[in-house]
Amino acid sequence: MELRTLGYFVAVAEAESVSAAAAVVHVTQPAISRQLRQLEREIGVDLFVRSAGRLRLSAAGREFLPHARAVLRQADSAARAARSYAAGRLERLTIAAPTTTLTDVIAPFLATLAADDPMPTVLESDPHEAYAALRRGADLAIVTERPVAPLASAPVAVLPVWAYVPAGHPWHAAKVGLPSLVEQTLLVLTPGFRPRQILDAALDAAGLTMGELVECSNPQVAQALAAAGRGVAVVTDDPRFDLRGVEIEGRDGPLRIELFAAWEPGHHAATSLAAFAERLRDFCVDRYGADVAPPR
C-alpha cells in the first residue's frame, strides 16, 4: 500500500469524481482509476460505489477514509522532521544533568527559552550516569568533569564550592581557609558527589583531615542543617534558608566545580547543540557574574 495511492483515494473521496481529483493531483484519470482498483484489491473490499459516472464512498470507504488521512498526516510530519534533521535543527531537546545543576542552572535557563526553541525534556541523572543517558538517547549531558573523546564538549561554568553559614556566624571574610574550615562541624555530601571529592582532594593536598562531619545525601538537607546551627554546609547549590556563602580557599586557590556540556559528535544537530551549550554558558555568566565564565 503506497502513500501515493492513499493520496489518490483521499483526493477522489473528497472530490467525488476521478476527473476532479485528477486535476487536483495532476495525474491522468486512467492512472488514478488503476491505482484505486489496485488499492481495493489489496485491502479486499470496494471503497466506492460507482454509478452514473460518479463515485461515492461505500460504507467500508467511509470507515477507511480517516485512517488514510491519518497515515498521510503522519507521513507528512515524518517528512518535515527528516528535513529538519537534515538541516541540523532540533525539534525536541533532552538534557541529562545532576540534581543541583537541574535546580539551580537548567530549570532557570529553560525559563528563558523562546517559542521557536526545541521542546525540552529533562532527565535527573547521577553524574556517573550522564554518559549512559547520552547512549540511551539524551541529546545533551551536563557533567562536572571534563568529558573525554570521542564525546564533543564545551565548558559551561566554573562555580564556587561554598561554605554556608547562618547570618549570625562569626565568619565575615569573603573567604575562609581550610585550616579554619576543618575546625568546624562540616555538613558534607557523600563521597559520590563532586563537591565532596573536590573538598577531599583539597584537604589531602593541604595535609589536613576533617574533624567532626555529618554526611548528607542531599545538598538542600545539608543547608537546612546549617540553618539549624548544626554545622557548616559545604555544597555548590545556590543559597537557601537565609544562609551566607563563604568561599573556601585551598592551597591552590578557591575551591571550584566545573560544569561541561557533552554530546555525541555524530549527532545530526551537533552544531545546534554546541550553540545551545554556548547559550547556557552565557546564561550562567548573566546569572552568577563574569567570575564563573570558563575559558573558551
Q: Of the candidates 106, 104, 97, which has an alpha carbon nearest to the alpha carbon of residue 162?
A: 104
Cα 212–chain centre separation: 39
144 and 19 co-located in one domain: no
Contacts 24+ apart (CB under 8 A), 288-292: 288/157, 288/159, 292/157, 292/158, 292/159
CB 232 within 8 A of CB 187: yes
- Please count the other Cβ atoms lying within 10 Å of the Cβ belonging to residue 224: 17
Would you say the pTM of this structure is higher than 0.75? no
154 and 266 co-located in one domain: yes
Instruction: Among 42, 59, 86, identify where a domain stops.
Output: 86
172 and 41 co-located in one domain: no
78 and 13 co-located in one domain: yes
Give the span between the Cα atoms of 183 and 258, in whole angstroms. 27
CB 93 within 8 A of CB 121: yes
Q: What is the pLDDT of residue 248?
A: 96
Q: What is the pLDDT of residue 212?
A: 93
In CATH, what number is assigned to the domain containing residue 202?
Answer: 3.40.190.10
Instruction: Among 45, 61, 86, identify where a domain stops.
Output: 86
Give the span between the Cα atoms of 148 and 135, in whole angstroms. 15
Give the span between the Cα atoms of 116 and 31, in whole angstroms. 42
172 and 248 co-located in one domain: yes
Q: How many domains does the chain have?
A: 3
In CATH, what number is assigned to the domain containing residue 78?
Answer: 1.10.10.10
148 and 111 co-located in one domain: yes
79 and 102 co-located in one domain: no
136 and 9 co-located in one domain: no
| Containing structural domain, residue 135 | 92-158+257-292
Instruction: Among 86, 117, 140, identify where a domain stops.
Output: 86
166 and 250 co-located in one domain: yes
149 and 263 co-located in one domain: yes
277 and 139 co-located in one domain: yes
180 and 49 co-located in one domain: no
Q: Tens-of-pLDDT digits for all 296 residues of the chain?
A: 788 888 888 888 888 888 888 888 888 888 888 888 888 898 888 888 877 667 788 888 888 999 988 888 888 777 666 655 655 567 788 999 888 888 899 999 999 999 888 888 888 877 667 788 888 888 999 998 888 888 899 999 999 999 999 988 888 777 899 999 999 999 999 998 899 999 999 999 999 999 999 999 999 999 999 999 999 999 999 999 999 999 999 998 999 999 999 998 888 888 889 999 999 999 999 999 999 998 76
Q: What is the pLDDT of residue 247?
A: 94
- Please count the other Cβ atoms lying within 10 Å of the Cβ belonging to residue 154: 19
Q: What is the pLDDT of residue 250?
A: 93
